[in-house]
Structure 1
Amino acid sequence: SCGQTITGIGVAAGCYWGNLVYNMYITSSELKKFPVGGVWSAHLRLRTGQWHGGPGSVDPGWPGFMSAEWKADITLNVIDNKNIHIWFPLSHSGTTNVVMPITPAYWALNKPNVVTSEKTIDACLYDGYSNNSKTFKITFNSNNVDRVSGDFILRNNLNPEKSTLPYQVIVASPGSSDTVQSVKPGVQLSYSGINLTGSRQVMIPGLHAPVACIPWPIKIKLKPFNLSKQQAGHYTGTLDLIFTPSL
């Protein structure tokens, strides 16, 4: 309240303010209701005051209410660490099986016995943050690597130590088909500016809404070999991918 000196009791003129503290927070149970990670924003508008019987309302929409107003813009960076995925849409899974069809490698050069094989895998990257991460780091690992050349290899199921087929893993920057590179086992790839690239919407089990996933085709290519000199049988191998997005 504000006013002049009150005669008879000696109260000095001036204004007297009361303090009221508001603590606002979001409970963990409410945070769990966010359907996907990402940047979530809201605007908070808070009015406080005292009802009275006379004129003086600041806002005509609030008759008889002397109001003070406080506003805040709220931004939440919600990261869904449990659902970061290298996703394979065609198999609707975080894993996939690849069958490599054999084709002639140098038919035009009259080398019909020399064959190769290649397959492009449709993959995409979900960072748990609605494609707002600034950097993607990815590593290809495998237990099947040639000790001398360092190449990824497929092993013959009946003779895994002596009969192998080397292959390459070839990728470009996620969301781009520009410069491609051949991947080395255990060597981390780092990509920046991913949040500026295009994405596709995919449904991932466990999430309640489609999420932004960055397309990232992965090409697997067998190095040319002489079919007549290669031991017959099934050749298999495994690739493990480690994906680490960062803010």
Structure 2
Amino acid sequence: MRWLAVLLAVLLVPAARAQALPLTDPVGIVQEHPLAYDRSGVPASIELLAPRTLLGYSADPARGYGSIHLTCRSATDAEHGRCPTADTGAEGGGRTGIALRFTERRSGMRTEITVTGSLQRAFADRACQNDLWHGTDQPLSSRYGPECAGQPPTGTGAALSIAGNELSRLVAGRWEAELVLDLRTEANGPALATYTFRLDLDISDRDAASIYFPAFDLATPQVGLNLHYDPISQTVGGHAALEMCLYDGAGSQSDYLGVTVSDSAGPSSSASGYSVWHADGGDDPTQRVDYTVTLDHGGARLPMANGTEQMLTGIDRVRLRLVALPGMSQPVFCVPTPLSLDTPRVPISSKRPGHYRGGLRVELRLPPSRP
């Protein structure tokens, strides 16, 4: 009988040493964050730095990586982020809100949005309840680091994000912002690295696209033709203006807008295409007053044929109007397209005296949604 003896050698490595964080020296970054979405589905958040993104780590406390903190370039101006510009010395847990200015490319509108950030302190061994990380978030701009089991932190991670409720404050448009944060270890020391985050948000709001009549808010416009009698020529005619603004739900950046104006009574037998009729009824010319409709787009007067779509182009070049649309928390820019209703002069004897009424229907067609 033969026996084979096997000697087993087992090397035990302490868990903390086997899973130690890697040596990491601070290095500046530039991140691009392009994102397109519709306001009907605002993202839950935009993550700029995932929690515990390692900014710096060394097992040697003398490197000072346990005191890393992030500061803004200005404590008063939100153009690149507004937050403390030096070590605050704040102790205890917490997060930091950074006011960041977003600018809408088309209109120049500005809105400040809060970016939320925090620091997480790391340790050379599992001193914090068998973990390499302290369990409490620390403010971004404080070099304070809590100890664990009498040991100081030797590394720092960070988290940085924009919450969905902040994003919901941005109306449709192309919004841009740049956040700049400097990394420091000493209270009055130089910046060791710079973190730059460039955000480009292409936001649509297709469900909110609308035809807005500023003088009537939510009500259906009631417009008179402003007919005036000329006793010398014994004719009647007039002119009426109706302010109208088109909101495309895309920050007024659509390639085109299709507008159709139609007589609510249907096709008219008049050459002008639009008519109002005597309130007592009747279908002969004496019971009808004819008028024309003209739309002003960027200074160009466009005759509107009854029921025929008019394509409006150059939307990205016309002057916009800031309005507060019903049901929206923020003002938006729309494309002014005022309507002119002109009644050519006709002999007063050719029309039956009395009250005339009619209606117009205005329709807006948008380009297909962008992918």
TM-score, normalised by the number of residues in structure 1: 0.69
Alpha-carbon distance in structure 1 between the residues aligned to 2:40 and 2:348? 61
Matched, 1:122 2:243: yes
Alpha-carbon distance in structure 1 between the residues aligned to 2:199 and 2:351? 64
SS of the equivalent of 1:228 reads helix
SS of the equivalent of 2:222 reads coil
Q: How many residues align?
A: 209
Alpha-carbon distance in structure 2 between the residues aligned to 1:160 and 1:208? 47
Cα distance, 1:32 vs. partner? 8.3
Match for residue 64 of structure 1 among 143, 154, 161 = 154
Aligned runs of 1:1-247 on 2, under 5 Å?
31=42, 44-45=48-49, 48-49=53-54, 52-54=58-60, 61=68, 64-65=154-155, 73-93=198-218, 95-104=220-229, 110-111=232-233, 113-144=234-265, 145-147=267-269, 149=271, 151-162=273-284, 163-173=287-297, 176-177=298-299, 179-246=300-367
Alpha-carbon distance in structure 2 between the residues aligned to 1:234 and 1:94? 22
User: Structure 1 regions of 5+ residues with no counterpart?
Assistant: 1-8, 10-17, 19-24, 34-41
Q: 1:64 to 1:84 in 2, by over 3 A?
A: same
Alpha-carbon distance in structure 2 between the residues aligned to 1:94 and 1:192? 28
Task: Look at both structures and tell me which one has the larger radius of gyration over its CA atoms.
Answer: 2
Q: Which amino acid aligns with 1:161?
A: D
Give CA-to-partner distance per residue, 1:44-81, whole Å, 9 cap, x none. Answer: 34573385532668897267338799976443332222
Q: Percent identity?
A: 20
Q: 1:94 to 1:125 in 2, by over 3 A?
A: farther
Cα RMSD after superposing both structures: 3.6
Alpha-carbon distance in structure 2 between the residues aligned to 1:66 and 1:32? 28
Alpha-carbon distance in structure 2 between the residues aligned to 1:223 and 1:196? 33
Q: Which amino acid aligns with 1:157?
A: A
SS of the equivalent of 1:209 reads coil
Q: Which amino acid aligns with 2:68?
A: G
Q: 1:61 to 1:43 in 2, by over 3 A?
A: same
Q: 1:206 to 1:224 in 2, by over 3 A?
A: same
1:44/1:73 contact within 8 Å kept = no
Q: Using the TM superposition, name which of 203-212 and 67-76 deviates more.
A: 67-76
Per chain length, whose mean CA-contact separation is higher, i.e. which structure has more relative contact order (CA < 8 Å, sep 6+)? 1
Runs of 4+ in 1 over 3 A off after TM superposition: 49-52, 55-60, 62-76, 147-150
User: Structure 2 regions of 5+ residues with no counterpart?
Assistant: 1-10, 12-21, 23-34, 70-152, 159-193
1:87/1:94 contact within 8 Å kept = no
Q: Which amino acid aligns with 2:42?
A: L
Q: 1:52 to 1:207 in 2, by over 3 A?
A: same
